[in-house]
Chain A
Amino acid sequence: MLNDIKILMKSLSDIDVRIMLCKSAFEWELLAKKYNALRDEIETFCASGMPEDVKEALEKTRASLVEKKGELPPLDLSDFFK
């Protein structure tokens, strides 16, 4: 079990690194999808109760994703209005 959670946490830190390198909205969306999938996986894995440090790591990655999205150029809404 310890090994499994370590693997999941490794995937999470991979996402953290990629967030720093992310430069486009397309890349960001891929990372967000990965994050959502990983979060679901971790939640399923820790169904009995998520350890505090895992919860914090998830929140930290989420905050980084939000921050990065805000830093990227504003989304072009022209398609949305067509």
Chain B
Amino acid sequence: MGLIKNIRDAVKKEVKDYIFQMVEVEKDNEKKSEQQVPENVKNIEVKVEQPAPKVEEKPVVKEEMPEPEKKEEVAEVREKPRKKEIYPIANNLEFVRFTYKKNQEFITVPKELSELIKMLPLEEYACFMKLYCFAADQKKNYGYWGGTLKRKIGLDALSTAEFEELGNNLAAYGLLLLEQLTENQKTFVLYVPFDEDTMNKLSTAKPAPRQPEKPAPKKAVNPAPKAAKAKPEPKEEAETQHEEDIPGKPVEGMENDEMYKSYKTFVSLEIDKAKMRVGRANFDKIYMEAVKYIDKKYGFKVLSDSDKFKEYLTNYYISAFDIPTFENWKKSKG
């Protein structure tokens, strides 16, 4: 028994040495140039011959050899690039900007939405659900897209590029609408089926037309949500509302209205509060962004016209600091 045990140990040791040698030789082969490769092969052949003579080795070698292969397979799986082309899982969804009428005690996902999002990959699914919970928490399904949002929804661990990619993927799947306001500012609208009982509709965001190169897949679900279908609204009205929501869009008319004057005072106070809240340095940065945005969006003539610029700047602040619009403020006043 002792002899057999010794032989077994010796065989095991030799096989281990053999495998280590093989791995080292393979590593060397990769490093050396093509001219040196034949020499290495000879070395391998010589080394292979050395532990070969004993018959008992064979089954042991067969058992041990698959390990490096398995490792290679795993490496291959990990190295596979992510699928670049994304097909929308739903078409013609109506992106409604809304606010919840009251705080949500329970965060519920409508069945039609759950049917859609279950097709998302894990990361996109998680991001969507985080945004969904965030929307319920902040009582609206839209806002600015960026680092602050990333932090608020608990995705700090992701880099900015990864977060951007997630957003772009969700947009490509057709469940998120991203709009580039300026070079550094983006807004998002999360797709949530509109429910008249619990939500106030603000506007309808218009998704950018999809590229014809990416046809919808056969399996794609194509249901516009029932709630959205049941209450179709004239497109013109929706577009007008959307226009009103764009930061920097001036509120025209109503200058003589007493309510409007009170509203202006309210806005002035809110801007002052925001200035205190964000600090001088950040406020300066926001101002710089506003200047760039107004120039890009409305042209230099507006920027150089003092009165117009003040008006557009005010509206930019209203949007940037989440100050209620005149309509919403009026409603809240009753």
Judged by DSSP, the binding face of B is helix
Residues on B facing A (Cβ under 8 Å): 264-265, 267-268, 271, 283-284, 287-289, 291-292, 295, 300-301, 303-304, 306, 309-311, 313-314
Q: Are B310 and A66 in contact (CB under 8 A)?
A: no
In the complex, chain A residues whose CB is within 8 Å of the CB of B283: 74
Q: Are A74 and B284 in contact (CB under 8 A)?
A: yes
Inter-chain contact total with CB atoms closer than 8 Å: 50
In the complex, chain A residues whose CB is within 8 Å of the CB of B291: 66, 69-70
Q: List 9 A-B contacts (CB under 8 A).
A: A29-B304, A29-B306, A36-B300, A70-B289, A73-B284, A74-B287, A77-B310, A81-B264, A81-B268
Number of chain A interface residues as a range: 10 to 19
Residues on A facing B (Cβ under 8 Å): 29, 32-33, 35-36, 62, 65-66, 69-71, 73-75, 77-78, 80-81
Q: Are A81 and B265 in contact (CB under 8 A)?
A: yes
Judged by DSSP, the binding face of A is helix
**Please, how many angstroms separate the alpha-carbon atoms of A36 and B264 in the complex?**
31
In the complex, chain B residues whose CB is within 8 Å of the CB of A62: 295, 300
> Most chain-B CB neighbours within 10 Å: which of A35, A62, A70, A71?
A70
- B72 CB to closest chain A CB (Å) equals 53
Given A66-B303, A70-B292, the answer on whether A78 and B268 have CB atoms closer than 8 Å is yes
Looking at the complex, which one of A36, A66, A81 makes contact with B267 (CB distance below 8 Å)?
A81
**Please, how many angstroms separate the alpha-carbon atoms of A47 and B292 in the complex?**
28
Looking at the complex, which one of B264, B268, B287, B310 makes contact with A70 (CB distance below 8 Å)?
B287
In the complex, chain A residues whose CB is within 8 Å of the CB of B267: 81
Residue of B nearest to A36 (CB): B304
11 additional A-B pairs beyond A69-B303, A81-B268, beta carbons within 8 Å, are A35-B304, A36-B304, A62-B295, A65-B303, A66-B295, A69-B291, A75-B287, A78-B268, A80-B311, A80-B314, A81-B264
